[in-house]
Structure 1
Amino acid sequence: MYKVLVAEDSTVDAKYIESILKEGEYNIIFAKDGEETENLLKNENFDLIILDVVMPKKNGFQICREIKKNDKTKNIPVILVTSKKEEADKFWGKMQGADEYITKPFEPIDLLVAIKKCLKK
């Protein structure tokens, strides 16, 4: 069973991600903003993090950068899932340390392939 942190402020998008992952071996923990995400990361260990970019209090780029700078969390794969579709956004996401970058709307298979890739590393 993989422990997955999903940081997503949209209830609709969080439910969509949950529906995609519910058939797999995933224990999903949700955070609604950057601050809640940071608190969960301090207190729990995760196998994978799925991060929205546009969130209240702290955005996904900031959280991703902090995850990858921290010795305790730097090896956790991060998938950015966002409506930010520009090439500059994708480049910036990768510069922050994201392992995968998926733009909304996306098909379930896109997320599942990214997860499999990340968990094999």
Structure 2
Amino acid sequence: MGKILIAEDSDTELAFLNEILKETNHELTITRDGLEAEAAAKAGKFDLIILDVIMPGKNGFQVCRTLKKDPAFKDTPIILLTSKSENSDKFWGMKQGAEEYITKPYNPVDLLLAIRQHMGAN
């Protein structure tokens, strides 16, 4: 079991993520905006971070870039989970340091596989 930080401002999307992830037995920490996500990441030790891109405070691109510039997060995988589906968005997200870029709507299996890939078989 690992610790996952989730930054998502949509109640509907959070309910969907909780439903997908409840069987994994990972410990989930939920934040509702980019500033809260960044503060939570720096205050705790997480095995994986899932960031929405479009959210209040700081967007997911900004949070990803800030965290990846910090040596403490160089080995923490970040998954951007977003409705921004243009190739330029994906390019920009990966350039910020994300390990994965998954667009909404998404297949839950794709998210679970990405989590498993970056966290091990836990």
- In structure 1, runs of 5+ residues without a counterpart are none
Q: CA deviation at 1:18?
A: 1.1
SS of corresponding position for 1:23: helix
Q: CA deviation at 1:25?
A: 2.5
Q: CA deviation at 1:71?
A: 1.0
Q: 1:10-21 maps to which residues of 2 (within 5 A)? A: 10-21=10-21
Q: Partner of 1:78 in structure 2?
A: 78
Q: TM-score, normalised by structure 1?
A: 0.96
Residues in 1 aligned to 2:35 and 2:109: alpha-carbon distance in whole angstroms: 29
Number of residues of Structure 1 aligned to a counterpart in Structure 2: 120
Residues in 2 aligned to 1:111 and 1:3: alpha-carbon distance in whole angstroms: 16
Residues in 1 aligned to 2:38 and 2:61: alpha-carbon distance in whole angstroms: 13
SS of corresponding position for 1:22: helix
CA RMSD between the two structures: 0.8
Q: TM-score, normalised by structure 2?
A: 0.95
Q: Partner of 2:50 in structure 1?
A: 50
Q: Partner of 1:2 in structure 2?
A: 2
SS of corresponding position for 1:93: helix
Q: Partner of 2:93 in structure 1?
A: 93
- In structure 2, runs of 5+ residues without a counterpart are none
